[in-house]
Amino acid sequence: MLEIRNLHARIEEDGREILKGIDLSVKAGEVHAIMGPNGSGKSTLASVLAGRPGYEITEGSVTYQDRDLLGLAADERAREGIFLAFQYPVEIPGVNNMYFLRAALNAVRKQRGDKDLDAGQFLKAVRAKLKLLDIGEDLLQRAVNVGFSGGEKKRNEIFQMAMLEPKLAILDETDSGLDIDALRVVSNGVNRLRSPERAIVMITHYQRLLDYIEPDHVHVLSGGKIVLSGDKNLATELEKHGYAMLGDAA
């Protein structure tokens, strides 16, 4: 589904190179965890895949469903089924959360060739997903992320993901800032969204998320490169020895 080849990217503003040759292959149905110390380029990788402005690709390629991903604008990527759960979800004052979600869903559906959902159908879909994820209705009538607690913001991200039904979901530090209860809710949500058609790339600093969402593959990013890949046991190793063990591997 996703093929990343020798990807180099730098920050447009200051020219700093962050990604220095990433290779990664993700198939439908797989869950990949990308771990690594602060500043290793994890979030940059997520940003570049989602098409966030401010980065320049200097080398390499990314193929998504046999298409050149880097040639698509951020909104096109989203409509093609790429979803980024933000590390810091953005507040949009005055815009009702439901209204926002319906606009997004209809944009994505249009691309798929589906009809717009009317208000009734939409509400039905919303209720079904809320139930599936065990999330209350309290967030729906508030402005997008405005005044949400850290946990509420992350729950809202997963709820959006459930509604938009992406093919490739990238979770950027979804566990950061969550207490144990919130982590459980969010993880349950993600687990329920695992499916043979969907790939999930989780970016995390800590191993604890992987206790709740079991990955098929674990990669360690350091200095803008993937320095280690393995199965879920790699995460346990890392937890034991810390990122210091990368010194030998890198």
Partner 1 sequence: MSGATAETLDAVQSASGDSYKYGFFTDIEAETAPPGLNEDTIRFISAKKEEPQWLLDWRLEAYRVWLKMAEPHWAKLKVAPIDYQGATYYSAPKQDKDRPKSLDEIDPELLKTYEKLGIPLREREALAGIAVDAVFDSVSVATTFKGKLGEMGIIFCSFGEAVREHPELVRKYLGTVVPQGDNFFAALNSAVFSDGSFVYVPEGVRCPMELSTYFRINAANTGQFERTLLIADKGAYVSYLEGCTAPQRDENQLHAAVVELVALEGAQIKYSTVQNWYPGDAEGRGGIYNFVTKRGICKGDNSKISWTQVETGSAITWKYPSCILEGDNSVGEFYSVAITNNLQQADTGTKMIHIGKNTRSTIISKGISAGRGQNTYRGLVRMLPKAKNSRNFTQCDSLLVGDKCGAHTVPYVEIRNPSARAEHEATTSKVSDDQMFYCQQRGLSKEDALALIVNGFCKEVLKELPMEFAVEAQKLLAVSLEGSVG
93 binds partner 1 (CB under 8 A): yes
Cβ–Cβ under 8 Å, residues 44 and 19: yes
Q: What end-to-end distance do the CA atoms of the chain give, in Å?
A: 27
Q: How far is CA 89 from CA 85, 86, 156, 159, in A?
A: 8, 5, 9, 13
Among 9, 78, 209, 228, binds partner 1 (CB under 8 A): 78
CB closer to partner 1, 74 vs 245: 74
- Per the structure block, which two tokens stand in for 82? 């790429």
Say which DSSP state 118 is in.
-
Among 11, 67, 73, 195, binds partner 1 (CB under 8 A): 73
75 binds partner 1 (CB under 8 A): yes
Which of these ranges, 30-38, 95-103, 120-128, 238-246, lies near partner 1 under the rule CB under 8 A? Answer: 95-103
Q: Using CB under 8 A as the criterion, what x/- string covers residues 7-26 for binding partner 1? A: --------------------
- Per the structure block, which two tokens stand in for 109? 């559906």
- Only one residue has tokens 């998504």, namely 64
116 binds partner 1 (CB under 8 A): no
181 phi and psi angles, rounded to 5 deg: -70, -45
CB closer to partner 1, 42 vs 77: 77
CB closer to partner 1, 95 vs 123: 95
74 binds partner 1 (CB under 8 A): yes
Long-range (24+ apart) CB contacts under 8 A made by 114-122 are: 122/98
Binding site for partner 1 (CB under 8 A): 50-54, 73-75, 77-79, 83-84, 86, 89-95, 100, 103-105, 107-108, 111, 143-144, 160, 164
